[in-house]
Amino acid sequence: MQWGSLTEFLAMGGYGLYVWTSFSATALCMVWEVLALWRRRAAVRAEYRDVS
């Protein structure tokens, strides 16, 4: 699939809004989930450090 230019790629034949909303929502959710887990793990480690 050859895209003529970056603009064409972003426009997605006029459907850019729908396509990019979908992909960015997916990416955002995954990143958010990973970050939330990272925070949770840090909290668990910190709490465990205090328990003795």
Binding residues for another protein, per CB under 8 A?
1, 3, 9, 12-15, 18-19, 21-23, 25-26, 29-30, 33-34, 37, 40-41, 44-46, 48-49, 51-52
Residue 6 is which amino acid? L
- Quickly list H helices, 1-52: 6-11, 16-50
First to last CA, the chain: 60
Q: Is the alpha carbon torsion for 25, 27, 30, 32 positive or negative?
A: negative
Shortest distance in whole angstroms from residue 7 CB to another protein? 13
Give the residue with the Cβ less far from another protein, 1 or 5: 1
Give the residue with the Cβ less far from another protein, 5 or 45: 45
